[in-house]
Amino acid sequence: MTPEQLSAALRTALTDAVAAGDLAVDVPAEVRVERPRNRDHGDWSTNVALQLAKLAGMPPREVAALLADRVGRVDGVKAVDIAGPGFLNITLDAASAGELARSIVEAGDAYGRNDSEAGHVINLEFISGNPTGDLHIGHTRWAALGDALARLLRASAAEVTTEYYINDAGAQMDKFGASIIARLKGEDVPEGGYPGEYVTELGRKALAERPDLLDLPADEAVAVARDLGYRLQLAAIQKTLDDFGVHFDVWFSESQLHSGGAVEQAVERLREQGHVFDQEGAVWLRTTDFTDDKDRVLIRANGEPTYFAADAAYYLSKKDRGFPEKIYLLGADHHGYVNRLKAIAACAGDDPQQNIEVLIGQLVNIAGERMGKRRGNAIYMDELIDWLGTDALRYSLARYPADSPLSLDGEELRKQTNDNPVFYVQYAHARTSNVARLAGEDGVSRADGFDPSLLSDPTEAALLAILGDFPRVVAQAAHLREPHRVARYLEDLAGHFHKWYDTCRVRPMTADEEVTDLHRSRLWLNDATRQVLANGLALLGVSAPERM
């Protein structure tokens, strides 16, 4: 029996109790079941009796008793106990619990997918680094988290579009072009420019494409260098992200907002909403009406739009493109953006509690020897990939809540020991693959039989229980925007598997031992574990190796 089937049985019990006149409540669309923290309390638990007691006008334990009697008669339920103020603890018989192994194997890659976020249409923007330099360690954390969140939301039936906002407008781009020209001439970069060695490399590549670059008039040379450098640097960013397994549905250019008139149109649209005012020659948005600490300038007195105006135009662009929900993943230095972005949503006529969500990530540091030697003191994504590998990076960065400062030891992440969480989980998957491979060589085949009632060892009951919890973990991680819940679940699952492996044998112990349904049934459980480990790692963008 799967958790979904048990939930449906509980809902049927409620419906029957209402039909019999024993309860007077509206039956909820879903009855949630969860795995108890203490295995002595059964396989599954629900607090539905406590939730409905007030509506029913009855003590919670009386509601629980009505349900316990009905649920206890369901095939596959061994026992139903009432605990505390009215919790129902449910124990399945071995056959019913073991049937989950077959369900998981037959579901394959689909196991864990759910419809908890169905109907949500989301634009998820993350990283959005400037195209004037390489992606650094902070971007790396957001790449791991943002991509994992997109995978989780899609696995929970949300319609998600991932988007990278290219900050390719403003004076920074001209300074970028001027820095390239300065490096080609052997001069110092201008104040506020870009001194990294990568700028010299971009200059050499730009000169290869435009041999006449240094012969052009100064302003034209800067403009050409800017455009060539931008194209080359953006391609380098895309290549690094591709190496990291992160792919965006949309690459949105800020400069297009300006060249296409979207910024001016945004100002007028917000004025029509009644939130724009003129003062001291500038155009302002009255964001203080919506929790911002001060009103914001949209157009300066000299007629130049501010970055905030572009932010407003960008928000309206997302709205116009059909995204009711917009999630922004921003870096640690962007706390001040939260209220102003929510104020933009409110000024645009949206509900800032429903239509926009801003997640702020904290700083991350990875200690070790492989720093950004070529480009100063910062650590860059491509160097991190070369040093630690994509799997270790993605798993380790997704393993912690986004709002917690993070310090990792790079050399620890390279170790192949059980103290390294990503190795621990990947090794569990490799071990399940090895078990299946060797069992096949010994003639153990799932197709020859399956008796779930034989999966009665305590380690098997515990393993089945955690396997059954996977869909709930995925749904919860998606809803709370917390990919780390999947990583921690996988580590717990790996621990249960290793204990089971040490206790229960899938293969015959000796050459003359007969292959029985116990071996075959345990192979089903082994393969179910392999499937869930693979599915969970895929949600984090991490590979599931078959050999290690």
* CATH assignment of the domain containing 440: 1.10.730.10
503: Cβ–Cβ under 8 A, 6 or more apart, which residues? 457, 459
Q: Looking at the structure, tell me whether residues 163 and 308 fall in a common domain.
A: yes
pLDDT digits (tens, 9 = 90+) for 267-323: 999 999 999 999 999 999 999 999 888 999 999 999 999 999 999 999 999 999 999
**Predicted confidence (pLDDT) at residue 40 exceeds the cutoff of 80:** no
Q: Looking at the structure, tell me whether residues 253 and 311 fall in a common domain.
A: yes
Residues 294/343, Cβ–Cβ less than 8 Å: no
Q: Looking at the structure, tell me whether residues 450 and 532 fall in a common domain.
A: yes
Cα(346)–Cα(356) distance, integer angstroms: 10
Cα(193)–Cα(132) distance, integer angstroms: 10
Q: How high is the pLDDT of residue 374?
A: 39
- Higher pLDDT: 362 or 430? It is 430
* CATH assignment of the domain containing 147: 3.40.50.620
- From 360, 381, 397, the end of a domain falls on 360
**Predicted confidence (pLDDT) at residue 396 exceeds the cutoff of 90:** yes
Domain that holds residue 469: 417-539
Total number of domains constituting the chain? 4
What's the per-residue H, E or C state across 453-511? HHCCCHHHHHHHHHHHCHHHHHHHHHHHCCCHHHHHHHHHHHHHHHHHHHHCCCCCCCC
| Residue 28 DSSP class | P
Task: Give the residue carrying structure tokens 């960013």.
Answer: 237
Q: How high is the pLDDT of residue 368?
A: 54
Q: How many helices (H) and strands (E) does the chain have?
A: 20, 13
Cβ neighbour number for residue 268 with a 10 Å cutoff: 10
Cα(358)–Cα(349) distance, integer angstroms: 18
**Predicted confidence (pLDDT) at residue 393 exceeds the cutoff of 50:** yes
Q: Looking at the structure, tell me whether residues 512 and 525 fall in a common domain.
A: yes
Task: Give the residue carrying structure tokens 């800067």.
Answer: 222
Q: Looking at the structure, tell me whether residues 209 and 298 fall in a common domain.
A: no
> What average pLDDT does range 512-533 have in this prediction?
96
Rg (CA), the chain: 29
pLDDT digits (tens, 9 = 90+) for 108-154: 999 999 999 999 999 999 999 899 999 988 899 999 999 999 999 99
- From 321, 338, 360, the end of a domain falls on 360
Answer whether residue 183 is part of any domain: yes
**Predicted confidence (pLDDT) at residue 409 exceeds the cutoff of 80:** yes
Q: How high is the pLDDT of residue 11?
A: 92
CA torsion 217-219-220-225 (nearest 10°) is 120
> What average pLDDT does range 26-46 have in this prediction?
85
Q: How high is the pLDDT of residue 372?
A: 39
Which two tokens mark 95?
A: 């056959």
Which two tokens mark 325?
A: 């929900």
Answer whether residue 522 is part of any domain: yes
Q: Looking at the structure, tell me whether residues 313 and 449 fall in a common domain.
A: no
Task: Give the residue carrying structure tokens 């108890």.
Answer: 36
425: Cβ–Cβ under 8 A, 6 or more apart, which residues? 395, 487, 490, 491, 493, 494, 533, 536, 537
Q: How high is the pLDDT of residue 403?
A: 87
pLDDT digits (tens, 9 = 90+) for 234-268: 999 999 999 999 999 999 999 999 999 999 999 99
Strand partners, 388: none
Answer whether residue 287 is part of any domain: yes
Q: Looking at the structure, tell me whether residues 250 and 214 fall in a common domain.
A: no
Answer whether residue 100 is part of any domain: no
- From 227, 243, 259, the end of a domain falls on 243
Q: Looking at the structure, tell me whether residues 152 and 208 fall in a common domain.
A: no
Q: Looking at the structure, tell me whether residues 219 and 307 fall in a common domain.
A: no
3-state DSSP call for residue 136?
strand
pLDDT digits (tens, 9 = 90+) for 422-441: 999 999 999 999 999 999 99
The full DSSP string for 33-63 is -B--SSGGG-SEEE-HHHHHHHHHTS-HHHH
> What average pLDDT does range 69-80 have in this prediction?
91
Which phi and psi (to 5°) does residue 233 adopt?
A: -70, -40
Distances in Å between the Cα of 14 and the Cα atoms of 24, 82, 91, 348 are 10, 16, 19, 44
**Predicted confidence (pLDDT) at residue 155 exceeds the cutoff of 50:** yes
Strand partners, 88: 46, 82
Task: Give the residue carrying structure tokens 């001194």.
Answer: 195
Cβ neighbour number for residue 273 with a 10 Å cutoff: 13
Answer whether residue 374 is part of any domain: no
Q: How high is the pLDDT of residue 369?
A: 42
Cα(225)–Cα(124) distance, integer angstroms: 32
Cα(198)–Cα(104) distance, integer angstroms: 49
In sequence order, which ranges of 90-217 are alpha helices (DSSP H)? 94-107, 137-155, 171-184, 197-209
Q: Looking at the structure, tell me whether residues 425 and 511 fall in a common domain.
A: yes
Which two tokens mark 411?
A: 């050399």
Answer whether residue 391 is part of any domain: no
Q: How high is the pLDDT of residue 359?
A: 94
**Predicted confidence (pLDDT) at residue 370 exceeds the cutoff of 60:** no
* CATH assignment of the domain containing 22: 3.30.1360.70
Sheet containing 282-285: give its strands across: 276-279, 282-285, 296-299
Q: Looking at the structure, tell me whether residues 250 and 140 fall in a common domain.
A: yes
Q: How high is the pLDDT of residue 377?
A: 54
> What average pLDDT does range 435-456 have in this prediction?
94
Cα(228)–Cα(503) distance, integer angstroms: 63
Which two tokens mark 26?
A: 């509206």
Angle at 411 between CA 406 and CA 414, to 5 degrees: 100
The residue count for the chain: 548
Cα(533)–Cα(154) distance, integer angstroms: 18
Task: Give the residue carrying structure tokens 């078990």.
Answer: 435
Answer whether residue 369 is part of any domain: no
Q: Looking at the structure, tell me whether residues 252 and 265 fall in a common domain.
A: yes
Answer whether residue 8 is part of any domain: yes
Q: Are strands 406-409 and 364-367 parallel, antiparallel or unpaired?
A: parallel
